[in-house]
Amino acid sequence: MRWNLIVLISAALILGAAPNSPAPPEGMVYVPAGPFIMGSNVGDTDESPEHLATTKAFFIDRYEVSNSNFKKFDSSYTYKEGWDNHACIVTWEQAAAYAKWADKRLPTEVEWEKAARGTDARLYPWGNTWDTTFVAWDETIPRGGTIMNAASPYGCFDMAGGVREWTDSWYKPYSGNEVPCESYGEQFKVCRGGSHFCDPFSFRSSHRFYLPTNTTGNYYTGFRCVKDAE
């Protein structure tokens, strides 16, 4: 099944390849339109089934929004761990408001997973092998972009560890998933990427978290933004 999906993706990428990629806005990277393999058949039940998903072209922040950048939006924002660190202790509403202020938006979880995995269905942003030197975990929160050898296929940093990231998607089952879950619906937003408090299983790019939109007061959730490219 996976091999068939990879063949379909390869054909689509060849047929739809653009001669030139548009220059991204400052601090962002370009993710081209097209299909990729989303989800997992060997992860948690909410990650299944593994399936083909498609996005339009978009730009995504190379790094998570920092404390200093969030401070420009909200002058009352304070955080003790350093202004270059990932912004956290923000609700989904605050993250969405920042994105709108910056003329951007929060990514859907489809966009987030594609930016993290690319088109080869890798487990982690950097590949398929777990490596403790590639993530910020064990209760540490490094400055954004300090783990330079762990970029995603499109050049995004810190998509595993550090802080998990808000998306714009409600926590709902994938098409074809018939496993019941009382948390599904429009009560929780999906977060991705794992945090410095998570275990290695949670750093896989297909892993899904969910939180109420008004959750705040913790050091485990931040965000990055996207912008349409078409």
pTM: 0.89
CATH 3.30.70.1450 assigned to domain 2-228? The reply is no
Residue 167 phi, psi (nearest 5): -120, 175
Residue type for 206, please?
A: S
pLDDT at 146 over 80: no
pLDDT at 137: 63
Cα distance between residue 88 and residue 164, in whole Å: 9
Averaged pLDDT, 111-126: 96
Give the tens place of pLDDT for each residue, 62-117: 999 999 999 999 999 887 667 788 898 899 999 999 999 999 999 999 999 999 99
Averaged pLDDT, 174-195: 94
pLDDT at 143 over 80: no
Given a contact cutoff of 8 angstroms between Cβ atoms, the answer to whether 31 and 154 are in contact is: yes
| Omega prior to 200 cis, within 30 of 0 | no
CB atoms within 10 A of CB 140: 10
Query: Which of these, 9, 40, 50, 56, lies nearest to 226 by C-alpha position?
Result: 56
Q: Where are the domains of the chain?
A: 2-228
> Any residues with CB less than 8 A from the CB of 209 and at least 6 apart, and which?
164, 190, 191, 192, 194, 202
Averaged pLDDT, 120-142: 80
pLDDT at 17 over 70: no
